[in-house]
A and B are shown apart, each in its own frame.
Chain A
Amino acid sequence: MAGSPPNPLTGDQYRQMVVTGARYVEKHADEINALNVFPVPDGDTGINMLLTLRAANESAELPPIGTGTVAEISAALSRGALLGARGNSGVIFSQFMKGIAEGLAGAETCDGADMVTALTAAAAAGYQAVGTPVEGTMLTVMRGAAEGVADVTGSNAEVLAKALDAASVALAYTPEQLPILKEAGVVDAGGQGVVAFLAGSLAYVTGEDVPLEITAPLGGMAGANVSQAFLEHTEDDMYGFCTQFVVLGEGLDVDAVREQVGAMAASTVVIGDDRTVRVHAHAENPGPLLSLGVSLGSVDQINIQNMDVQHQQFMALHGYTQDERSALAVVAVAPGDGLMRLFRDQGATQVVGGGQTMNPSSAQLLDAIKRANAGHTYLLPNNPNIILAANQAAELTGDSVTVIPSRNIPQGIAAMLAFNPDLDAEANAAAMESALTDVQSGEVTTAVRSTTLNGVSIVEGQAIALLDGVVVAATATPNDALIAMLAGAELEEGNLVTLYWGADTPGRIASEAAGAIEARFPGVEVDILEGGQPHYTYLVSIE
C-alpha cells in the first residue's frame, strides 16, 4: 500500500483503517488515562475507548474478510461498539461510530466526500446521545473535526489530515471551555482519544506513521499530568455506583428511555436503536435503573462499579494517597466555612456542612463516616435537630460509631478538644461526653417575628440573645444583646468567651463586641473567630 494510498477505501480497507485507529489509541492509552480529570465516571478513558474499539473490530456481525461493502462493515462495527462500549467515553465513542455508519449508509466504497459525510454524522450523533452535552469534551473535539472538513474536497488522506488538524486545535481549546480542565492543567482525555483515533486512521490511508504527542493546553504548561492541587480539591466529590447495561428488545424508544433514566440518575448517557439500548448512569442505588431496564426488554451486559473504589484507584494512579485507615476518627457537623475549618484544624477527619437551617441526612452522615475510614468514629451533631439523624446513622453502622450528643457548636468544640487519638475508644467517649458540660452556649440572632418568650417581649427585626437555648434579651443591636446575655451568665475572672461571628456579621462589629466585653467584664478573656455561620450574628462559647 506504500506509495499508493487507498482511495476510495474498499470495505476491507475501511475495516483496516479502524483497526489502525484502534492501534493508535492502544499505543497512547496510558497517557490518555493519565489525562482524565474526572475521578469517577471514567477512571480509564484510554482503556475504555480501546476496549470499545476492540469490541467494534470483533463484532459478530462483520462479514467474512473479502466480502462486505463499506456500509455493511461500518454498520457491523457500530453494532459491536454499541454492545461492547465501556465507560462514558466508550459509550460516546460508540455513538460516533453509529453516526459514521449512518453517514456511510448504502456506500459501496468510501472516498473523501463520504468521509466528510461520515465525520459530520458522527459529531451530530454524539451530541444526540448525551442528556446534557458539555463543551470542552470529546463531543467538542469530534465536532471540531467535522467542522474542519466541511469544505474539504479531496482524497481520504486530505480529509483525514484536515480532520486531525482541526480536532487537535479543538482539543487544545478544551481547557478554555471546561474550567475543571483548566484547573487541572490538562486537555480533555476523551478528546485526546478522538485525536489518537483520527491520527491512526490517517496513518492507514497515507501508509505513513503519524507522530502523535499528548496535546498541551492552549497557552498552558505541558499537560501530561493532572496537578496535585486539583486532585486534592476533587477528592471528596463523588460517590455511588456507575451503572451500565444493555436492553435488548423490539420497538424500543431510545428518547423515552433517555428521559426516564435522566430523571433517576446523574451523568446519564443513553444510546441505541429500536433493538438495543445502552444505558450508562451514576446512581446512589442501581436497583431502580435495572428494574426500568427489565421492564423494557431483556437486560444484558450489566456492569455496576462502586465509584468510591474507582475513585481510590484513580487517586492511586495519580500518586495521591488517602489517609491511612485509622483506629479512631471524629465526624462533625458545622455550619459555615470558618467553623468547618476550625473542626478540621482540631482533628476532625470529616466535617459535614449543616446546622439549624440545613440538617444533613443520615445518608450524608453515613457517607462521611465511611470516608473517615476508621475503626471507631465519634459523631458530633452540634445541633439538637441533627442528633436524631446522627443516632440513625450510628444504628446503621452497628457498634463502630458513638454519637456524642453535642447540642451546639461550643459543646462540639469542647468535645473535639477532649478527643485524643492515643486513648482507647471508651476513654475517648467518656472524655468527650464529659466535656459537653464544660461550656455554656450563647447565640445572638435576629427575631423573625414579634412575640413574647421567657418573659422577654420581642419585636420583629430586633437582635435577640439566647443563653443555653433560652431567650434572655431583645435589644436594638446585636452587641447590646450579646452584653446583656453575658451579664446573665455570671462571668468570673479567668473565664474565656469565644465569639464566632457569622457570614453576615461585619468584622468591625465583632471586634467592637470583643472590646465591649473586655471593658464590661474585667479579667475575662475574649477570643474572636470567623465562624461564617448563616443567620447567627454570633455563636458564643462561655467557659
Chain B
Amino acid sequence: MSVKIVTDSTSDLPEEIVKELGVTVVPLSVFFGEEAYKDGIEITREEFFKRLTSGNDVHPHTSQPSVEDFVAVYKELTDKGHEVVSVHVSDKMSGTMNSARLAQAEMPDAKITLVDTGLAALALGLVVKFTAEAAAAGKSFEEVVAVARETSEKTHCYFMPATLEFLQKGGRIGKASAIFGGLLSIKPILTIQDGEVRPFTKVRTEAKAVARLLEIATAEGPFAEVGVIHEGEGPSVTLLTNHLKALSDGPVVSGQIGAVVGVHTGPGVIGMALRKA
C-alpha cells in the first residue's frame, strides 16, 4: 500500500517525469467542432498545434474529464489498496475538480483527497512533481496532502502569450479581461493569482517581455525548482532557461504546453513556473 498521485493533463509535465514518479494523468479533451480528442492520448501536441495554426479549422474548445474517467482511475488505484491524492488545475479555470469531486462521492469508502492548486500548466506540474516525490519518499497520506497544499501556495507562474486572441476566445482570462479592447498592440505578462489569470504588466515588444520575465525571476529568486513554460523552441526559450538555471540547484523542467493549455494560450507562449522552498 502506498500513496499515489493523480493529476490532470493541464499539468504539462514531461512524459519521463510522469513515468518515473508513477503519477496518473487524467486527460481533459480537446474538441474541433464535434470531434473530441483526449489530450496527449488521441492527439499529440505537435498534431494539435499544426491544426490550430493551419487556419482551416473551427476554433477548438476544451472539456473537463468525465466523472467516469476519474472513477476508473480512482477505482484501479484503490482496488490495489493505494491511497489517492488528486492534485488539480484551478477550480476557477476548469470543471476538472467538479468531475473529481463527483467521482470521489461515488466512492465513499476509498481514501481519496482532492487538492485545488489554484494553478495550471507547469506551475501545477511543479506542485504535482514535488508532491509525488514526497509520496515516493514514503511520507504518510496526511503528510503528502499537506505537501500538496503548501506547495500550491509557494508556486507561481508568469507567462506571455504571443497573441491575446486565444485567451480572449477561450474566456479563461479572469481579471485579465481588462487588457482587451484597446487598439494598441501590446504584449502582456500574465500571472495566476487566487486561481485566476491576472495581468501582471504590459509591454510593447516580445524582447521587452522576455527581459521583464528575467527581471521578475531575479527579483523573486532563488527557487527550489523552476520550469520553463513554452510551445516550440527559440532564442527566447534558451535565454529564459539559461537565466533560470542560475536561480535554482536542480535542472530546469521543460514544460511544453499540451493541447488543452494550448487552446487557451495559443502557440508561441513563453513563461516560467517558480517553486519557492
Question: Contact residues of A with B, CB < 8 Å?
Answer: 341-342, 345-347, 413-414, 417-418, 420, 422, 431, 438, 494-496, 498, 525, 527, 529, 541, 543
The answer to whether B205 has its CB under 8 Å from any CB of chain A is yes
CB distance from A414 to the nearest CB of B (A): 8
**Contact of B186 with A417 in the complex, beta carbons under 8 Å:** yes
**Contact of B208 with A420 in the complex, beta carbons under 8 Å:** no
The answer to whether B193 has its CB under 8 Å from any CB of chain A is yes
With A342-B183, A529-B184 given, is the CB distance from A422 to B198 under 8 Å? yes
- Of chain B, the residue at the smallest CB distance from A439 is B204
**Contact of B207 with A494 in the complex, beta carbons under 8 Å:** yes
Chain A residues contacting B185 (CB-CB under 8 Å) are 527
Chain B residues contacting A342 (CB-CB under 8 Å) are 182-184
- Of chain A, the residue at the smallest CB distance from B207 is A494
**What is the 8 Å Cβ interface bit string for chain B, positions 181-205, against chain A (1 contact, 0 not)?**
1111110000001000011111111
**Contact of B204 with A418 in the complex, beta carbons under 8 Å:** no
CB distance from B212 to the nearest CB of A (A): 9
Q: Can you name 15 A-B residue pairings with CB atoms under 8 Å? A: A342-B182, A346-B184, A414-B203, A414-B204, A417-B203, A417-B204, A418-B201, A418-B203, A422-B198, A422-B200, A438-B203, A494-B207, A496-B205, A525-B205, A541-B204
Chain A residues contacting B202 (CB-CB under 8 Å) are 346, 417-418
**Contact of A345 with B183 in the complex, beta carbons under 8 Å:** yes
CB distance from A152 to the nearest CB of B (A): 60
- Of chain A, the residue at the smallest CB distance from B203 is A417
The answer to whether B178 has its CB under 8 Å from any CB of chain A is yes
Chain B residues contacting A346 (CB-CB under 8 Å) are 182, 184, 186, 202
The answer to whether B69 has its CB under 8 Å from any CB of chain A is no
How far is it, in angstroms, between the C-alpha of A414 and the C-alpha of B185 when the chains are bound? 12
Which one, B181, B204, B205, contacts A345 given CB within 8 A? Answer: B181
Chain A residues contacting B204 (CB-CB under 8 Å) are 414, 417, 496, 498, 541, 543
**Contact of B178 with A417 in the complex, beta carbons under 8 Å:** no
The answer to whether B206 has its CB under 8 Å from any CB of chain A is yes
A-B contact number at CB 8 A:
51
Chain B residues contacting A345 (CB-CB under 8 Å) are 181-184
Chain B residues contacting A422 (CB-CB under 8 Å) are 193, 198-200
**Contact of A494 with B182 in the complex, beta carbons under 8 Å:** no
**Contact of A417 with B201 in the complex, beta carbons under 8 Å:** yes
How far is it, in angstroms, between the C-alpha of A498 and the C-alpha of B200 when the chains are bound? 23
Chain A residues contacting B181 (CB-CB under 8 Å) are 345
How far is it, in angstroms, between the C-alpha of A431 and the C-alpha of B193 when the chains are bound? 20
Contacts A495-B205, A525-B205 known; list 7 others, CB within 8 Å.
A346-B182, A413-B184, A417-B204, A418-B202, A420-B199, A422-B199, A431-B201
**Contact of A438 with B208 in the complex, beta carbons under 8 Å:** yes
How far is it, in angstroms, between the C-alpha of A495 and the C-alpha of B178 when the chains are bound? 26
Chain A residues contacting B208 (CB-CB under 8 Å) are 438, 543
- Of chain A, the residue at the smallest CB distance from B205 is A496
How far is it, in angstroms, between the C-alpha of A417 and the C-alpha of B193 when the chains are bound? 19
How far is it, in angstroms, between the C-alpha of A420 and the C-alpha of B199 when the chains are bound? 8
Which one, A438, A525, A529, contacts B183 given CB within 8 A? Answer: A529
Chain B residues contacting A529 (CB-CB under 8 Å) are 183-184
**Contact of B200 with A494 in the complex, beta carbons under 8 Å:** no
**Contact of A420 with B201 in the complex, beta carbons under 8 Å:** yes
Chain B residues contacting A420 (CB-CB under 8 Å) are 199-201
How far is it, in angstroms, between the C-alpha of A414 and the C-alpha of B187 when the chains are bound? 12
- Of chain A, the residue at the smallest CB distance from B200 is A420
- Of chain B, the residue at the smallest CB distance from A421 is B178
Chain A residues contacting B200 (CB-CB under 8 Å) are 420, 422
CB distance from A539 to the nearest CB of B (A): 13
- Of chain A, the residue at the smallest CB distance from B186 is A417
Q: Which 8 residue pairs are nearest across A and B when measured between Cβ atoms? A: A345-B182, A417-B202, A496-B205, A494-B207, A527-B185, A496-B204, A543-B204, A529-B183
**Contact of B184 with A494 in the complex, beta carbons under 8 Å:** no
Chain B residues contacting A527 (CB-CB under 8 Å) are 184-185
- Of chain A, the residue at the smallest CB distance from B215 is A434
How far is it, in angstroms, between the C-alpha of A342 and the C-alpha of B182 when the chains are bound? 7
How far is it, in angstroms, between the C-alpha of A540 and the C-alpha of B101 when the chains are bound? 55
CB distance from B246 to the nearest CB of A (A): 23
Chain A residues contacting B186 (CB-CB under 8 Å) are 346, 417
How far is it, in angstroms, between the C-alpha of A22 and the C-alpha of B184 when the chains are bound? 58
Interface centre among B178, B198, B199, B202 (most CB of A within 10 A): B202
Chain B residues contacting A438 (CB-CB under 8 Å) are 203, 208
How far is it, in angstroms, between the C-alpha of A42 and the C-alpha of B201 when the chains are bound? 44
Interface centre among A413, A417, A543 (most CB of B within 10 A): A417
How far is it, in angstroms, between the C-alpha of A431 and the C-alpha of B178 when the chains are bound? 19
